[in-house]
């Protein structure tokens, strides 16, 4: 797997993205070649053909991304694939038309533009069908042998099975319990005991051995795993492997030593300064761009229901420091009795008519950019929690306090990877993403989260 923006991606997925980009680029060049009647001389002298083709490629791949065409859980049927491809192509050509209106120098000829549309759809559909076949046949997957049959082993295997493009295939489990032999844990079966690990590795052409033992004292197969390592087989700890393929940390399966000795959690002065500058710049630009929307929303709230435009609420910030988060008011005044905090619900009856709209469009979050400018929040970070809920969650969820080692954010890794949380179990799931972010925090990861946030907002996912 390759690490990009502190996220791990299978080499096959990166190759897929790059090949698809090359296909789009080639479709533009071929369209120009056909438009010129196969005259290679005219093609070579056509002005700015490479920059024009690169622009089309970039816009098309952005539209493919925003239409969920790089999520193979969603595009698992040819019908869904076809519909989304048409939507992406339509969006791309509308965006290109707008760009060409303002920058006529980079316009593709009308004939090239039309020919390219048909070539593009044909090429991408063909490539996608080929790749879906590769995913179904599990070609080029790395074979994984899982040592253990407990909770960690089960969750690992479920993730591998559910993600067709994970790049891994579980070939079986190892257990020292004679009664487990031949039994199915999730889908693969128990195929051997500790003394047979190396034999199973050779027989099933295993590439990676994942140690997913819930308890290791007195039962750790050190000699067998050392043999595997000396024979060139990768051996990896289960929680770390889970982190790589899911982008979250199993809080119920780690101990303090794992957090202490694992890589990450680096917060250098340079990194903090860059994060502060980046957040301030984005918030300043964001407030300027949304100022008309800011005014319209404020007027709408005042006309819709009695009460203030803004809503101030205590939240927990970096190092457990209390601050007041600023949001547009989306609920009726006095939605909670004093000292009686309540989790937000789906279709919450306390939400006003305007509130329902601004929550769905995430407009209620805009004033938090003022908190970012004041230095109380970052643009990207864990969601700021209420002090009352934090005390409850600290008792229920291990390592919950560690999420407050960084400034909270308007958006974050947990917010884009998981729906709006409204229970202790939701908070537990989101913490797993928050800890991953705290561990792997970087400027490039922040930029990737912001880019993905735009998609979440446009698709209106997770708001309540």
| pLDDT tens digits for range 406-457 | 999 999 999 988 876 668 888 899 999 999 999 998 888 898 899 888 888 7
Distance of CA 223 to the CA centre of its chain: 38
pLDDT score for 225: 93
Q: How confident is the model at residue 334 (pLDDT cuts 50, 70, 90)?
A: low
Is pLDDT at 190 greater than 90 in this prediction?
Answer: yes
Q: Write down the mean pLDDT value for the chain.
A: 87
Average pLDDT on 172-187 reads: 88
pTM for the predicted model, two decimal places: 0.85
Dist. CA 252–CA 239, nearest whole Å? 10
Q: Which has the minimum average pLDDT: 177-191, 220-234, 332-346?
A: 332-346
Query: What is the largest distance, in Å, between two alpha-carbon atoms of the chain?
Result: 78
% of the chain exceeding 70 in pLDDT: 92
Is pLDDT at 81 greater than 90 in this prediction?
Answer: no
Secondary structure (3-state) at 266: coil
pLDDT score for 167: 85
* 3-state helix/strand/coil string of 200-253: HHHHCCCCEEEECCCCCCCCCCHHHHHHHHHCCCEEEEHHHHHHHHHCCCCHHH
Is pLDDT at 459 greater than 80 in this prediction?
Answer: no
* 3-state helix/strand/coil string of 92-160: HHHHHHHHHHHCHHHCCCHHHHHHHHHHHHHHHHHHHHHHHHHHHHCCCCEEEEEECCCHHHHHHHHHH
Dist. CA 231–CA 201, nearest whole Å? 10
Write phi, then psi, for 235 (nearest 5 degrees): -120, 125
pLDDT score for 218: 62
Secondary structure (3-state) at 290: coil
pLDDT score for 226: 93
Q: How confident is the model at residue 133 (pLDDT cuts 50, 70, 90)?
A: confident
pLDDT score for 217: 65
Long-range interactions of 36-42: CB distance < 8 A, separation 24+: none
Q: Is 173 left (phi over 0), alpha (psi -120 to 50) or beta?
A: beta
Check residues 218 and 49 and name the one with the higher pLDDT.
49
Structural domains for the chain = 2-137 (no CATH), 142-246 (3.40.50.720), 269-334+341-459 (no CATH)
Nearest by Cα to 63 from 32, 39, 36, 86: 86
Write phi, then psi, for 447 (nearest 5 degrees): -65, -40
Distance of CA 186 to the CA centre of its chain: 25
Is pLDDT at 342 greater than 70 in this prediction?
Answer: no
Angstrom CA distances, 34 to 19, 25, 96, stand at 22, 15, 21
pLDDT score for 166: 83
For residue 88, the tally of other CB atoms under 10 A from its CB is 23
Is pLDDT at 192 greater than 80 in this prediction?
Answer: yes
Q: State the sign of the Cα–Cα–Cα–Cα dihedral 79, 85, 88, 93.
A: negative
Average pLDDT on 158-177 reads: 88
| pLDDT tens digits for range 375-385 | 999 999 999 99
Dist. CA 417–CA 37, nearest whole Å? 49
Most confident of 244-258, 324-338, 413-427: 244-258
pLDDT score for 432: 94
Angle between helical axes of 291-304 and 269-289 (0-180°, round to 10): 70
pLDDT score for 409: 95
Angstrom CA distances, 10 to 14, 127, 158, stand at 7, 18, 17
| pLDDT tens digits for range 343-356 | 666 667 788 889 88
Q: How confident is the model at residue 17 (pLDDT cuts 50, 70, 90)?
A: very high
């Amino acid at each position: 797997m390759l690490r990009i923006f502190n996220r791990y991606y299978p080499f096959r997925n990166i190759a897929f993205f790059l090949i698809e980009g090359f296909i789009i680029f080639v479709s533009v060049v071929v369209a120009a070649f056909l438009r010129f009647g196969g005259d290679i001389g005219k093609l070579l002298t056509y002005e700015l053909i490479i920059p024009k083709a690169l622009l089309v490629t970039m816009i098309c791949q952005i539209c493919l991304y925003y239409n969920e065409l790089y999520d193979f859980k969603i595009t698992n049927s040819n019908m869904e694939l076809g519909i989304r491809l048409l939507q992406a192509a339509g969006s791309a050509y509308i965006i290109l038309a707008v760009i060409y209106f303002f920058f006529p120098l980079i316009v593709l000829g009308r004939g090239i533009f039309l020919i390219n549309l048909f070539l593009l759809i044909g090429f991408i559909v063909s490539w996608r069908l080929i790749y879906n076949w590769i995913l179904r046949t599990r070609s080029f997957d790395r074979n994984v042998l899982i040592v253990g049959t407990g909770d960690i082993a089960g969750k690992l295997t479920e993730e591998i099975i559910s993600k067709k493009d994970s790049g891994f295939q579980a070939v079986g489990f190892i257990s020292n319990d004679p009664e487990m032999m031949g039994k199915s844990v999730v889908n693969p079966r128990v195929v051997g005991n500790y003394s047979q690990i190396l034999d199973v590795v050779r027989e099933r052409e295993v590439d990676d051995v994942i140690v997913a033992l819930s308890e290791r004292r007195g039962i750790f197969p050190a000699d067998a795993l050392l043999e595997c390592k000396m024979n060139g087989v990768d051996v990896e700890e289960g929680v770390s492997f889970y982190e790589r393929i899911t982008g979250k940390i199993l809080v119920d399966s780690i101990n303090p030593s794992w957090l202490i000795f694992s890589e990450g959690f680096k917060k250098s002065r340079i990194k903090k300064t860059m994060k502060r500058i980046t957040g301030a710049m984005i918030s300043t630009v964001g407030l300027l761009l949304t100022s008309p929307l800011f005014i319209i929303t404020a007027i709408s709230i005042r006309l819709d229901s009695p009460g203030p435009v803004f809503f101030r609420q205590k939240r927990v910030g970096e190092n457990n420091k209390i601050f007041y988060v600023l949001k547009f008011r989306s609920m009726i005044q006095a939605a909670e009795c004093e000292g009686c905090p309540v989790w937000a619900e789906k279709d919450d009856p306390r939400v006003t008519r305007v509130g329902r709209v601004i929550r769905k469009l995430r407009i209620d979050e805009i004033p938090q950019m003022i908190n970012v400018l004041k230095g109380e929040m970052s643009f990207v970070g864990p969601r700021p929690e209420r002090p009352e809920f934090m005390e409850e969650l600290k008792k229920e969820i291990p390592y919950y306090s560690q999420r407050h080692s960084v400034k909270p954010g308007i958006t974050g890794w947990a917010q884009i990877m998981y729906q709006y949380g409204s229970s202790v179990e939701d908070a537990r799931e989101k913490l797993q993403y928050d800890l991953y972010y705290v561990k792997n925090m970087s400027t490039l990861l922040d930029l990737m989260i912001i880019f993905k946030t735009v998609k979440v907002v446009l698709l209106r996912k997770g708001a309540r």
